[in-house]
Amino acid sequence: MPPPTALTEPASDLRAQRIAAVVRDYQKPLLRYATRLLCNATLAQDVVQMVFVKLFRNWSPLQEAGGDLKPWLFRVAHNEAVDLIRGESRRKRLHDCGAAEAEILYGGRHTDPMPDQDRRDLVLSCLDTLGPDERQVILLRLQQNLSYDEIAAVISRPRGTVGSLLHTAIKKLARQVSRKEGV
């Protein structure tokens, strides 16, 4: 391997500074998005770490953070989260079957009354009832404030599909919140 030259050292320092700035600017929003998407903070940290590993591998020495970086980061986070969700789906199905059997065996659900909490916490707790696609568009729109076009770029779907998913997700959330509030 050739020794570093004066030409390569500044380029690699500049690259490292730019990547560090991207990590600083996007780590928290990506982590918040992945946590809500996966409903698991530990798995979300793994997802965000993989996003930055992929960024580091794909970032050329003189590349700058452009306007398409944010959708790219969220798209990679989405893809990593979907991979985890797919991997966990079989385990979840087995768990759900076991829960259904327990419900039958023990004659009904054993639920505690819902503790007092503000409406935001209630809505966030209802996100679990949405499908992965609906959950991600809700989080990208409401939490990350992405436009329909940016969301479409993240999830690789047409803009109209984004609107449809948002509409369906909001209706489902409204029903769930009403049920939990007892309205």
Domain boundaries, given as residue ranges, for the chain? 1-87, 113-183
User: What's the sign of the alpha-carbon dihedral 52, 53, 58, 63?
Assistant: positive
User: Is it the case that residue 65 has pLDDT exceeding 80?
Assistant: no
Q: Tell the residue number behind the tokens 């690789």, with chain if given.
A: 156
- 153 CB-near residues (< 8 Å, 6+ apart): 68, 71, 75
DSSP, res 139: I
Torsion on CA atoms 156, 120, 183, 168, rounded to nearest 10? -10
What is the band of 178 on the pLDDT scale with cuts at 50, 70, 90? confident
Q: 113-183 maps to which CATH number? A: 1.10.10.10
Helix (H, G, I), strand (E, B), or coil: what is residue 167?
A: helix
What is the band of 94 on the pLDDT scale with cuts at 50, 70, 90? low
Q: What percent of the chain has pLDDT over 90?
A: 19
pLDDT for 34 equals: 93
User: Is it the case that residue 95 has pLDDT exceeding 90?
Assistant: no
- CATH says 1-87 is which class? mainly alpha
- For residue 77 the two structure tokens come to 């986070």
User: Is it the case that residue 142 has pLDDT exceeding 90?
Assistant: no
What is the band of 111 on the pLDDT scale with cuts at 50, 70, 90? very low
Lowest mean pLDDT among 45-54, 70-79, 164-173: 164-173
d(CA 140, CA 122): 19
pLDDT for 50 equals: 93
End-to-end CA distance of the chain: 70
pLDDT for 30 equals: 94
pLDDT for 126 equals: 83
> Residue 137: which of 123, 152, 122 has the closest Cα?
152
User: Is it the case that residue 102 has pLDDT exceeding 60?
Assistant: no
If one counts every other C-beta atom within 10 angstroms of the C-beta of residue 130, the result is 20
Higher pLDDT, 72 or 8: 72
Same fold, 1-87 and 113-183: no
| Cβ atoms 154, 96 nearer than 8 A | no
Average pLDDT over residues 75-89: 86
Round the average pLDDT of the chain to a whole number and report it: 78
- For residue 67 the two structure tokens come to 């306007």
